[in-house]
Structure 1
Amino acid sequence: MSFLIENWVPALMALVSGAMLLWPALQRGAQGAAISPTEAVRLINREKAVVIDVCEPGEYAAGHVSGARSVPLATLQEAKGLPSNKALPLIVVCASGARATRAVGVLRKAGYANAQALAGGLKAWREANLPVESGGKGA
């Protein structure tokens, strides 16, 4: 104890730097596993992640992430468009990210442990200048 009292400045610096290192991990946990568009692209390219768009059919037809499967949030629990391999990473997208976050909870309860919402939704995807398709009915 006397060591800490005599060396309070270095001890405080160590405590603060440790907290700064942990902060990003704590933030990710608080966001409900939301990932950035850059991280989503990495998952798609390296881990064969499947993109699930939970927007309504009209929103999906107006524009969606290239290659995304359309599974509206209201039909998610009985949807046939989900992959049978529940170990695959899923990236869940909606217009802004709010519905996607709710959908991640539904998917995790259904056994898709690697489901993650796209932070900022399709808006963030477009702002990152990533490919968007129009039309189609989805998968």
Structure 2
Amino acid sequence: MEIIAFLNQEWMLVSMLAVLILIYGWRERIKNGQPVTTQQATVLINADTAIWLDVRETKEFDAGHMVDAINIPHGKVAERLNELEKHRDKTIIVVDKLGQHAGSTGRLLGGKSFDVRRLTGGISEWQNQGLPLVK
């Protein structure tokens, strides 16, 4: 009952806290690389303004990946940033299995001033839509 009384008395304070939490969540999401759908990613790739960065382990990458994708496992991206320097003028679309590592990789690359996007749903969503992979 005390919580309800507090919420009634301090509704403005509680509302401001909720707004700040939403803004923080939105900002963190964008900071990790803006999410893009498979269709948006394909448009960027076809316009030659983006590249794929597949952060899955090499074994998973070899089983099937997007055409011309660069494979750097998520645990090695920080030490292999020099491989991405020649692509600095392009958007880097980070791909992983389900989206679990794309956020941390996106944050790392964004912190190094790369233009980063994350493929929504990862390679699983790509496959669910019947889009092609190469081996």
Relative to the length of structure 2, the TM-score reads 0.71
**Structure 2 residue 120 is the aligned partner of structure 1 residue 119:** yes
For 1:98 and 1:47, how far apart are their aligned partners in 2? 26
The gaps in structure 2 that reach 5 residues or longer are 1-24
1:105 to 86, 107, 116: 107
In the TM superposition, residue 126 of structure 1 has moved relative to its aligned partner by 1.0
Q: How does 1:25-104 map to 2 (within 5 A)?
A: 31-32=29-30, 33-79=34-80, 80-104=82-106
Alignment identity in percent? 26
Higher helix fraction (1 or 2): 2
The gaps in structure 1 that reach 5 residues or longer are 1-26, 135-139
CA contact (8 A) 1:47 1:89 kept: no
User: What does residue 11 of structure 2 align with?
Assistant: none
CA contact (8 A) 1:69 1:81 kept: no
Two-structure CA RMSD over aligned residues (Å):
2.0
User: What does residue 8 of structure 2 align with?
Assistant: none
CA contact (8 A) 1:97 1:120 kept: yes
Paired positions, count: 107
Relative to the length of structure 1, the TM-score reads 0.69
Amino acid of the residue matched to residue 101 of structure 1? G
Show CA shifts across 1:74-97 (max 9, x none): 110121431424231111000101
Moved more, 84-93 or 115-124: 84-93
In the TM superposition, residue 48 of structure 1 has moved relative to its aligned partner by 2.6
